[in-house]
Amino acid sequence: MDLYLEVYAGGGEFYSEDRYRRQLDLHMQRAGWELVTATVGGALAGYIYGFPLPSQTRWWEGIHEPVPPGFTDEDGKRTFALSELLVHPAWRRRGIAAVLHDELLANRTEARATLLVRPANAAAQSAYRSWGWTKVTRLQPTWEAAPMFDVLLRPIGAPARLTEGRTNSPRHTR
């Protein structure tokens, strides 16, 4: 929680501790929920988590049309939703996000992955493009004070980048 609050300090009500605690509690209960963390010197440097979208998902609520027919159809095995990717400000631009990203997606069996990113977040947009993500449309969640997001999509089987030379191995939690 401390890392989330530091990364999103001053982000407004949508990035509040209360809302994130509720979101995290719901997400952790999802079948297939997975977390990968990175530590440096025993301190949390970053984390990423996601889960497969169930057939009755609310993930796509607020999506902007048009989207391809069947785009939002889910069955619990089709789409992995990458929900959060956070790196402590002191550890950014060192490849930690890329390692977390690749580690989380490396053994997923879903056909595709999706995520939501703020259109103005140039650093994240650039990173995701370099990691094989493509913008499909926009989505504004139906939650109170929710911002507009770009919807990105990526095939799960896309080749991962080389991560040799990394000294800190990510940790998984399922």
> In the chain, where are the structural domains located?
2-163
Answer for the pair 137, 63: CB distance below 8 angstroms, yes or no. Answer: yes
What's the predicted TM-score (pTM) here?
0.83
Per-residue pLDDT of 69-106, as tens digits, reads: 999 999 999 999 999 999 998 888 999 999 999 999 99
| Banded pLDDT at 21 (limits 50, 70, 90) | confident
User: Over 80: is that where the pLDDT of 7 sits?
Assistant: no
Q: From edge to edge, which strands make up the β-sheet containing 149-155?
A: 134-139, 149-155, 112-117, 79-87, 43-52, 34-40, 171-173
For range 11-17, the mean pLDDT: 68
Overall CATH class of domain 2-163 = alpha beta
CA dihedral 71, 63, 132, 161 (to 10 degrees): -100
List CB contacts of 156: < 8 A, sequence separation 6 or more.
80, 105, 108, 109, 110, 111, 112, 113
Per-residue pLDDT of 104-135, as tens digits, reads: 999 999 999 999 999 999 999 999 999 999 99
Neighbours of 15 (CB within 10 A): 16
